[in-house]
Amino acid sequence: MRAFHALQRALRTRRHRRINRDQADRIAATHPPGTDHPGLAALLEAARAPATREELAGEQEMVAAFVAHRKNAARSARRHRTARIRAALVPATAGLALLILAGTAAAARTGNLPQEAQQHAHRLFSALGVPAPRTGTPAPPGPSRPGPRPSTSPTLDVTVLGWCDAWNATPGRTLSAGDRRKLSDAAGGEEDIEKYCRDLHRSASAAPSPTATQEPSTTPVAPSTSPTVSPRPSSGSPSAPPTGAAPATPTPTATQGSYP
């Protein structure tokens, strides 16, 4: 019985000496673990001892790595800033250029440019596939251009030629009412439009201006030719010679003989 009590006492003491959770928290919070566990206290003090020289040996190296990284970071930050500015500037410039180009093209198409610029624009944009104005409104005949231009003017009026083309394609259809009125004003009457346009085309082809050859002429240039100019004799045509269809028919050259 005495032995049992002794064992109980021993167990109680042992349990009392065991570290519980709160004690563990206290130990962790740098409180000394107390005299109950001198071995543990010594161990933890050793583990928490001040830094040794060996442990601090790498300072120079690490500070050098820090400095080098900061330098690199600053350099790359500068590079990024430049790249950002460039990234913003390029689309803005491109957009502006596109806007100007599109505006000019639109103005050229509707014929709102000054005369000289209009011709240049047509030369430029026809190469890009923008058609010359056909139904657009030209610059109204203001004070700088007194009255309708004489048809014999050496400088070719591209706008009026455009109207003529539209008129010849489908008379009175494609042309807007305003343009039609202007064209008939210029010709001196709606019935004179055809003759006016013919004359205009003739003067255009005679003029040395390069735009003259560029204009697609649907009307015969030389008035001396027959009204229906067929450059190639079609096989079903009754007017074709019945025998030996010579490729070079002796028709008078209608358009300076440019076709083979």
Partner 1 sequence: MPDEELTTALRAAQQGDAAGFATLWRSLHPNVLRYLRVLAGDHAEDAASETWLHVIRDLHRFEGTAGEFRGWLFRIARHRGIDEKRRVSRTREAAAPPTGAAPDAAVQAAEDASTAWALSMIAALPVDQAEAVMLRVVAGLDVATTADILGKKPGAVRIATMRGLRRLATHPQIRTRQGV
From residue 97, alpha-carbon distances to 16, 93, 101, 103, 104 in Å are 88, 6, 6, 10, 11
Q: Using alpha carbons only, what angle is made at residue 171 by residues 169 and 174, rounded to the nearest 5 degrees?
A: 70
Q: Does 90 bind partner 1 (CB under 8 A)?
A: no
From residue 66, alpha-carbon distances to 53, 63, 79, 101, 208 in Å are 21, 5, 20, 52, 76
Binding mask 27-66 for partner 1 (x = CB under 8 A): xx-x--x---xxxx-xxxxxxxxxxx-xxx-xx--xx-xx
The count of C-alpha atoms lying within 13 angstroms of the C-alpha of 126, restricted to the half-sphere facing its C-beta, is 13
Q: Does 116 bind partner 1 (CB under 8 A)?
A: no
Cα separation of the two ends of the chain: 138
Binding-site size, partner 1 (CB under 8 A): 40
Tell me the two tokens of residue 167: 């008129």
Candidate ranges 67-75, 117-125, 141-149, 181-189; the one touching partner 1 (CB under 8 A): 67-75
Q: Does 15 bind partner 1 (CB under 8 A)?
A: no
Q: Does 232 bind partner 1 (CB under 8 A)?
A: no
Residue of 9, 12, 70, 78 that binds partner 1 (CB under 8 A): 70
* Single-letter amino acid, residue 141: P
Residue of 7, 10, 11, 73 that binds partner 1 (CB under 8 A): 73
**Residue ranges that bind partner 1, judged by CB under 8 A:** 18-21, 23-25, 27-28, 30, 33, 37-40, 42-52, 54-56, 58-59, 62-63, 65-67, 69-70, 73-74
